[in-house]
Amino acid sequence: MSQTMRLAGGRIDRATTLSFAFDGRLYRGHPGDTLASALLANGVRLMGRSFKYHRPRGPLSAGSEEPNALVELRSGARREPNTRATVAELFEGLVATSQNRWPSLAVDALSVNDRLSSFLTAGFYYKTFMWPKAFWEKLYEPAIRRAAGLGRLSGEADPDVYDKGFLHCDLLVIGAGPAGLAAALTAGRAGARVILADEDFLPGGRLNAETITLDDAPARAWVEATLAELASLGNVRLMTRTTIYGAFDHGIFGALERVTDHLAQPRPGTPRQILWRIYAKRSLLCAGATERPIAFENNDRPGIMLAGALRAYANRWAVAAARDVAVFTNNDDGHRTARDLAAAGIRVAAVIDSREDAPDTPGVPLFRSAVVTGSRGRLGLKAITVRTAGGRTEEIACGALGVSGGWNPNLQLTCHQRGRPRWDDALATFVPVGGPSGLAVAGAAAGIFSTHGALRGGAAGARAALADLGIAASLPALPRAEDAPVRIAPLWQVKGKGRAWLDQQNDVTVKDVTLAHQENFRAIEHLKRYTTLGMATDQGKTANIPAIAVMAELTGKPIAEVGTTIYRPPYTPVSLGALAGRSRGAEFRPRRLTPSHHWAEGQGAVFVEVGNWMRAQWFPRPGETHWRQSVDREVLATRQAVGICDVTTLGKIDVQGTNAAAFLDRLYCNGMAKLAVGRVRYGLMLREDGMVKDDGTVARLAEDHFVVTTTTANAIAVFRHMEFCRQCLWPGLDVQLISTTDAWAQFSVAGPKSRALLERIVDPAFDLSNEAFPYMACGGVTVCGGLRARLFRISFSGELAYEIAVPARYGDGLIRALMAAGEDLGVTPYGTETLGVLRIEKGHPAGNELNGQTTAANLGLGKMVSSAKDAIGTVLSRREGLNGPDDIRLVGLKPLSPADVIVNGAHLMTEGSPVDAAHDQGWVTSSCHSPHVGHAIGLGFLKRGDRRTGEIVRVVNPLAGTDIRAQVVAPCFVDPEGVRLRG
């Protein structure tokens, strides 16, 4: 049995046959088919199970609005759940699997839900699964998730590549149907830069699905001639398989191009999809319209489709959904389906039109003033019941029913910036009102449903848009086309006893809307959230308007007053892979390497991410099996001989100008104006609210030239802040800033033998003796025989120490030179762990203490805040709330038992007090094992800490169940007098 339902004609390539599998069975189709059209051609109507009731479902539509025919496409890591079979292009070897059923699509155990439907109405889980509370997480939620749901994720990393791109144009035309093609032709001939985007792989829109003629010839001839001309114009870019999914501010549009979704897998070097950001000076929405169904009892059986879809399958894909069909309509367009299907040789058993004045189609039985009241057929439609004008009930056998309740303009993009559509009584639909600035609407999207109107509207829309830009365009000669008026008498539901579906994807029925109304969820946004109407992959494209109409009926309000929910991007689903683009895994964010990175790799360093930087964390040596061994060795080597650490990552900002000193004096809370040339000072920077922002060093290289450093984490924010102060607060100061973080490689050289080492590197012309280059000196030197460098005698470790900087490209050379020169001195490279231990031992605050919630006073640096000047943050640092008697102060913590460990985040409690928030005395901010003192040490904030030295406190960690005793000491465990660093 192969393609038994295939008709003649259509836009498929019969010369090529494609094999594909659905639920393990092999079928055949042709290029040009979608998965849905190919399955229908093979007589397969049943394609899925519904979300909640596990009802058998087939395709409702032939496009991107599809609620039912969702499948898992492909296998393995490429398995993609919830893919709409109606837009999935057929390719050789395609594998698709139905979802949300067990054990099989035809026999689904959970279809028992359908019989429990009276318990599963709107809001059922709010009401049903309330008690006992613990059952929700353990039982109800997992059970519901298993039962109700869509496809399964592969659980594997996506093997494909997704790109992002940027495009600019004068006119973006959204949709390549008759309106879009006419618009692109008009603008293209005028020489404007045009992008014509269409979600379909075959441009032409409804012209591909209809039998209408243009200039008395098949529409295809005009479409192909137009496409050929557009292709010949260098200023027009035709983008098929591209959905404009969002209209953003100022003419920016999001577009998803499915570059290789129609292939089994992307060609090498080709992305799967591209997420485009399109900057359009003007845009024209020609997105057409979507048909809506009419609700009646059991209107969700496979075989019941939108009437327009039924004839699209016949005309475009040469597929008969069944051998006997019927049509149920409230408007003239439904009759087109009957005419086209009859012309294609399909038996049209009946047209049921709810109107008295329904037109006649020769050879087709017509029921005027009649409605469809129900359907039969477990896994697919077998018959419908019709209530005739006389009130008689008649059963009509048919395998497919085309339903048309009218058409809704695809106006979603006009609402992406809070535009609200207007209800049009004559058209019985919402039509767009305005939209984002620069966007106009043409064709069916504007409520102009005839082909004639679409062609003219598209051309006129393009001409008007270009006129706005000062580009003159003339209207092209357009073909003669049908200009039928819209004739419709609204009908939203056929009332009956059973369930009538409004939203097939979310299993929302008329009863659910009625229940929502009874329970006062009447506002349309409440209705949506209470019933889930209009959610998920189809966003209610076929469901929303009928449901709004049902609610309008229940409330007795006109539809215009009920209104629509707000439409938001994306128009159709966008995969997370496309949104992420190349920013995943290692490429998720920039990876910055220090100048000594490759050297450190060669030393076997263990690296750690610090912001975007990769920094050496420690340097294991042979025989060391635990990081603590490496870190203890590095710490002791630095305190006893000399250690080297790459500190390039610290922010380095060059400050120049005749007012540079005055500028820095206002930026730091401590005085900078009188800093002598050739000297460095510790600088504390506050936020305007009085909290500490950052700290670093300020080095004065010349009268009008400073270099300041920031912490690694705040390098960007501090520079931004400094530019704010310079441009917005004191624009009259002569001062210039530039970030030189990446320009200079900088190393800390610390330890008693650091001078001896540097004397071997710094050229002999420079005297490094304590007298000539004392603690806090700085200046330009040359190293290694003439290379310019900067030397700063500053110390983070408490040892005699320097920081030496060379142009970044010499950083690798310098670290190698330092290591070679210091071999006999025991020079030892150290990483960020040792850096941390050295600074905790010395009591220097770092990120854990400078957490944005601490003041200078908290850190014990209150005296640094000068009251003699107006610097950022000084005024508010003095406010009452930050200067209470119980304020926290930075303290050192020493365990009474040397074997005890102090843990960050542990809370400080007094002896005998309850362990609760009310009795909290402070907390541990930093802790480590100190190889220098031989046991654990900590830093922390303690209430009145500066007055509690010597007190014994409890260090409590209720999470780990530990409670140890520690003595409060000054926050400095090494050389409190500062003899070493001045030596």
Residues forming the site for other proteins (CB under 8 A): 248-252, 279, 417, 437, 659, 662, 688-689, 716, 720, 723-724, 727-733, 869-871, 874-876, 878-879
215, amino acid identity: D
| C-beta of 689 vs 900, nearer to other proteins | 689
* Cα dihedral value 200, 63, 277, 268, nearest 10: -60
Report in angstroms how near the CB of residue 666 gets to other proteins at its nearest: 9
Report in angstroms how near the CB of residue 724 gets to other proteins at its nearest: 6
| C-beta of 580 vs 636, nearer to other proteins | 580
| C-beta of 10 vs 690, nearer to other proteins | 690
| C-beta of 168 vs 947, nearer to other proteins | 168
How many degrees, rounded to 5, is the angle at CA 551 between CA 545 and CA 556? 125
| C-beta of 115 vs 250, nearer to other proteins | 250
| C-beta of 200 vs 665, nearer to other proteins | 665
Reference 48, options 32, 77, 69; nearest CA is: 69
CA distances 233 to 175, 193, 197, 236, 476, Å, are 18, 10, 16, 6, 15
Contact (Cβ atoms closer than 8 angstroms) between residue 841 and residue 937: yes
Q: What letters, b where the CB count within 10 A reaches 16 and e where it falls short, cover 758-767?
A: bebbbeeebe
Q: H or E element: which one contains 733?
A: none
Report d(CA 288, CA 286) in Å as an integer.
6
Report in angstroms how near the CB of residue 733 gets to other proteins at its nearest: 6
| C-beta of 468 vs 963, nearer to other proteins | 468
Q: What are phi and psi of 406, to 5 degrees?
A: 110, 180
Report d(CA 213, CA 538) in Å as an integer.
31
Three-state secondary structure readout of 199-241: CCCCCCHHHHCCCCEECCEEHHHHHHHHHHHHHHCCCEEEECC
| C-beta of 90 vs 660, nearer to other proteins | 660
Instruction: Extract the tokens encoding 546.
Output: 């009928």
Report in angstroms how near the CB of residue 594 gets to other proteins at its nearest: 23
| C-beta of 379 vs 876, nearer to other proteins | 876
Report in angstroms how near the CB of residue 587 gets to other proteins at its nearest: 18
| C-beta of 83 vs 283, nearer to other proteins | 283
Is 413 strand, coil or helix?
Answer: helix
Report in angstroms how near the CB of residue 916 gets to other proteins at its nearest: 32
Strand order across the 25-29 sheet: 25-29, 18-22, 94-98, 70-73, 80-84
| C-beta of 525 vs 870, nearer to other proteins | 870
46, amino acid identity: L
| C-beta of 514 vs 866, nearer to other proteins | 866
Whether the CA torsion 227, 231, 234, 238 is positive or negative: it is positive
Report in angstroms how near the CB of residue 413 gets to other proteins at its nearest: 16
Contact (Cβ atoms closer than 8 angstroms) between residue 827 and residue 818: yes
Reference 311, options 204, 454, 165, 212; nearest CA is: 212
Report in angstroms how near the CB of residue 418 gets to other proteins at its nearest: 9
| C-beta of 140 vs 248, nearer to other proteins | 248
Report in angstroms how near the CB of residue 682 gets to other proteins at its nearest: 22
Report in angstroms how near the CB of residue 869 gets to other proteins at its nearest: 8
Is 124 strand, coil or helix?
Answer: helix
| C-beta of 825 vs 876, nearer to other proteins | 876
Instruction: Extract the tokens encoding 479.
Output: 């073909």
Contact (Cβ atoms closer than 8 angstroms) between residue 233 and residue 476: no
Report in angstroms how near the CB of residue 279 gets to other proteins at its nearest: 7
| C-beta of 423 vs 719, nearer to other proteins | 719
Report in angstroms how near the CB of residue 411 gets to other proteins at its nearest: 19
Instruction: Extract the tokens encoding 519.
Output: 């329970």
94: Cβ–Cβ under 8 A, 6 or more apart, which residues? 18, 20, 21, 35, 73, 74, 88, 264
Report in angstroms how near the CB of residue 730 gets to other proteins at its nearest: 6
Report d(CA 8, CA 344) in Å as an integer.
8
How many degrees, rounded to 5, is the angle at CA 349 between CA 348 and CA 352? 95
Contact (Cβ atoms closer than 8 angstroms) between residue 357 and residue 327: no
Q: What are phi and psi of 540, to 5 degrees?
A: 65, 30
| C-beta of 465 vs 815, nearer to other proteins | 465
Task: Provide the β-strand partners of residue 699.
Answer: 680, 707
Report in angstroms how near the CB of residue 686 gets to other proteins at its nearest: 11
DSSP state of 826: T
Reference 814, options 747, 743, 740, 742; nearest CA is: 747
Report in angstroms how near the CB of residue 665 gets to other proteins at its nearest: 12
Report in angstroms how near the CB of residue 420 gets to other proteins at its nearest: 14
Report in angstroms how near the CB of residue 157 gets to other proteins at its nearest: 27
Three-state secondary structure readout of 266-326: CCCCCCCEEEEEEEEEEEEECCCEEECCCECECCCCCCEEEHHHHHHHHHCCCECCCCEEE
| C-beta of 18 vs 708, nearer to other proteins | 708
Contact (Cβ atoms closer than 8 angstroms) between residue 893 and residue 972: no
Q: What are phi and psi of 922, to 5 degrees?
A: 155, -165
Report d(CA 113, CA 50) in Å as an integer.
10
| C-beta of 465 vs 500, nearer to other proteins | 465
Report in angstroms how near the CB of residue 471 gets to other proteins at its nearest: 19
